[in-house]
Amino acid sequence: MSYPIASDINRPTSGSQTCVLTPESYIIEVHEMGLCSTNPIQSQKWVKPTDNVVLWTKGPNENALTADVAPGKGISNPPIVQPPPLGKYSFSYVLLKNEITQKAKAEFKDFTYYSTSNSDASGTVGSYASYSESLTNFADTGFSPYINDTDFNVQGLLLQSDKVTTSTSPGVTPYILGVFDLSSKPLIVPNAVRSGQQLGIKFLTTNRVGIWCDDWSALGPPIATNFTFGSLPFVFRVTIS
């Protein structure tokens, strides 16, 4: 499913359409990044394959990697990424603290809505503020710690405080594992990486925030209280240069 880009259209006037936009800020806290040739999520559990490669992980006496990965921001203190063994990798993963802080505005052709501190949308620029979001359940009814989002080729798994055990309730979801399917274009690590080329990481968030509403016909500026902003999965890429 593809979603319309807010800046390309007038604001919707009916239905419950979701529109996407590019954030001004998108702050994440990374605890581990890695590569593997097979999916590390099996039966709703994090099972590291034998060929799992940890590119970077937070040490016991180190700080997590906190970065604003909105376009143009960059990572101020990029981690030292360990070169993986030669081979072909079909999956990458990122372990995150389950809290994303964003600031975004939906600039439709005929009106602009701004995020507020509680993630609601406002037609007033004075209300423009960052908000924090945590994902505590991937089910519409009941509880599920797992999602396979085929729209964005990413899977998510909610984890407990040990960063390994799958969460069993919405109240115990401090970490989230994101797994990115690279199988259509695997990362192939050649000899050159081990003899001088560098491995890099990229987080891409262009059009990775959504604005949605149950009924766009019920809106009325300057303040709209029945619709909201929220994060969509970012793209995580490992590059060779």
Query: pLDDT tens across 106-151, in order?
Result: 999 999 999 999 999 988 999 999 999 999 999 988 999 999 998 8
In this predicted structure, the answer to whether residue 18 has a pLDDT above a threshold of 70 is yes
In this predicted structure, the answer to whether residue 196 has a pLDDT above a threshold of 80 is no
Report the distance separating Cα 110 and Cα 1, nearest Å: 25
Name the β-bridge partners of 202.
237
Per-residue model confidence (pLDDT) at position 221: 53
Do 238 and 56 contact (CB within 8 A), yes or no?
no
Report the 10 Å Cβ neighbour count for 30: 22
Q: Which are the contacts of 203, defined by CB distance < 8 A and separation ≥ 6?
A: 28, 67, 69, 75, 234, 235, 236, 237
> 85-114 burial, b for 16+ CB within 10 Å, e for fewer?
eeeebbbbbbbbbbebbbbbbbebeeebbb
Query: pLDDT tens across 159-193, in order?
Result: 999 999 999 999 999 999 999 999 998 988 775 55
Query: pLDDT tens across 62-115, in order?
Result: 889 999 999 998 777 777 787 788 889 999 999 999 999 999 999 999 999 999
Burial class (CB in 10 A: 0-12, 13-18, 19+), 233: middle
Residue with tokens 């052709």: 109
Q: Which are the contacts of 89, defined by CB distance < 8 A and separation ≥ 6?
A: 35, 36, 37, 53, 182, 186, 187, 188, 189, 238
